[in-house]
Amino acid sequence: MDVYISGVGMTKFGRSKDPLQKMMAEAASSALRNAQLERVDAIYMGVMSVEEFVGDSNFATLLADTLGLTGVPSTRVETASSTGAGAFEAAFYAVASGHMRHVLVLAGEKMTHLPTAKTTRILSEVIDRSERRYGATMPALAAMIAQKYAQQFNLSSLKLEDILAQVAIKNHSNGYFNPYAQFRKTITKDDYLKSQMVSYPLRLYDCAPITDGASAIVLTSEPAPIKVSGIGHATDTAAVRHRASFTSFNSTKEAAQKAYTMAQLNPSDIQFAEVHDAFTLFEIIGTEDLGFFPTGEGWKALEENMTQLRGSLPINPSGGLKARGHPVGASGLAQLVEIVYQLRGDAGEERQLERAEVGLAQSIGGLGNNNLVTILERADRKRIVKVGTTRDREGWTLDYHPEIKVSKKSSTPPPSEGVGTLETFTTLYATPEGFRSPLSLAYVRTEAGEVVMACNPDYHSPKELKMGEKVYFKTREGLYVFEKLTLWSRLKHRIKGPAKST
């Protein structure tokens, strides 16, 4: 059964004094009013860490009650930072099954009331447990991915810095026009450069902020102007170190493949997209993973202004997570609310896109390991169906064939000591509760080819380290510690091999 969107709503994102259920009720009321409905058949409700952020559980029930929808079935859905998109997906199937007619999807998070170090610790719980023990945070992992991306595609650190700054500048510029955005100010490259280093090379302006907010959508089986064309969802190995590629996300690629197939659309059919820019580089990687631009070239499209509001493929017209804000549970659904505003022509004069008949949202859960891709379309859009060969989809061929490098975890545990190369690294300044700052973290590739996380609190600057250089690693109190391989460390640890250090 086809599924349509009959109502959307959201709160202004930012710092709010309201309790979470009140914010969510506000978003829900807007969406229900917009859909001209007073009651629904079910509620699917997304919150990521409500127990830890606000200390409540049984939140699905609490919300139904708060909304005055007592009695209505209410289910909480969670897929880490893609939770809003996950709730949308579950609700989509409920309507698509024919068992439900009108379903309210609701997502939110309240985060700003806690100290930043505590929020950082809660957010870090999505990370693989063994990496968390090193003090790894989401920005630290994203920073290591950024370093690797620059190395892999031959970008100097100045070039990388410029690309990241341009993403932040673009998204802040879009957010300036979005009445729901947390930050309604434009920024300059100078502002970017002055912003605090969070985890080298990522600055504060590379990271989506800590935000309160809620968003809501009403799904219906009754024909309405906006249609849900495709949904795809995929996971990946929780730990980045186990992945075959550090600079793209299999979970986006697999989710996109499913969404395009369900929608019978190709990347070239997509007119605009909301891409999960929790970290600036993730927008670039996202546009590559989604098949909009070739691998390693997403930044060129940015440089050529293609992804600007008036470009040929606008990315994050809302301002993205960067400027609209990132209440972790709500963002995945807020992206879809933005797509609906654009498809309806309701985005406001400055932000409204010229071509807005089909839009896509990509949402990332955890460090790229629970991702969803959703495609929405105007129901009145005339489809130009291509001639193709796919058996069960006559007249349509999927043009999207991303390279999916499947990770192969080694079955033997890595050695407790040895020589390896610095696959990538970061110096983390904003450490979580209980960790000294700064903290240098690295992925070290052992001689057998496995990757281990390692730390060294004595390297206080990223300038002390170099991508690809040889290091010595050793377990100490259950953690790997690394140091640069010098003549002295060779002698100390009795390492054989060429006398000359790399």
Cis? peptide before 438, omega within 30° of 0 = yes
CA distance 305 to 297: 13
Return the exposure string of 328-338: e unless at least 16 CB atoms fall within 10 Å of the residue's CB, then b. bbbbbbbbbbb
Q: Min. distance of Cβ 240 from a copy of itself in angstroms?
A: 12
Q: Which residues contact 277 (CB under 8 A, 6 or more apart)?
A: 167, 171, 208, 283, 286, 316, 320, 321, 322
Closer of 50 and 160 to a copy of itself (Cβ):
50
Q: Which residues contact 81 (CB under 8 A, 6 or more apart)?
A: 48, 126, 276, 278, 326, 328, 331, 332, 363, 364, 365, 366
User: What are 463-467's contacts with CB under 8 Å, separation 24+?
Assistant: 464/440, 465/422, 465/425, 465/427, 465/440, 466/422, 467/147, 467/148, 467/151, 467/422, 467/424, 467/425
Query: What are the C-alpha distances in Å from 308 to residues 115, 146, 354, 455?
Result: 35, 22, 12, 39
Assign residue 163 a region: left if phi > 0, alpha if psi is -120 to 50, beta otherwise?
A: alpha
Task: Residue 330: name the closest of 9, 43, 67 by CA.
Answer: 9
Closer of 235 and 295 to a copy of itself (Cβ):
235
CA distance 256 to 245: 17
The DSSP call for residue 207 is: B
For residue 193, give both structure tokens. Answer: 């450069």
The residues that touch a copy of itself, with contacts defined as CB under 8 A, are: 1, 42, 48-49, 51-52, 55-58, 60-62, 64-65, 69-80, 86, 89-90, 92-94, 96-100, 122, 125-129, 233-238, 250-251, 254-255, 262, 365-366, 369-370, 406-407
Closer of 237 and 335 to a copy of itself (Cβ):
237
Closer of 307 and 369 to a copy of itself (Cβ):
369
CA distance 338 to 180: 10
Closer of 385 and 406 to a copy of itself (Cβ):
406
Q: Min. distance of Cβ 339 from a copy of itself in angstroms?
A: 20
First-last CA distance in the chain: 62
The number of beta carbons lying within 10 Å of the beta carbon of residue 405 is 12
Phi, psi values for residue 368, rounded to 5°: 70, 35
Q: Are 207 and 321 in contact (CB under 8 A)?
A: no
Separation of CA 55 from chain center: 25
Closer of 46 and 414 to a copy of itself (Cβ):
46
Task: Residue 289: name the closest of 330, 327, 322, 246 by CA.
Answer: 246
Which residue type does 364 have? I
Task: Residue 15: name the closest of 229, 223, 182 by CA.
Answer: 182
> Which residues are bridge partners to 470 per DSSP?
421
> Which residues are bridge partners to 446 per DSSP?
420
Q: Min. distance of Cβ 107 from a copy of itself in angstroms?
A: 13
CA distance 471 to 485: 5
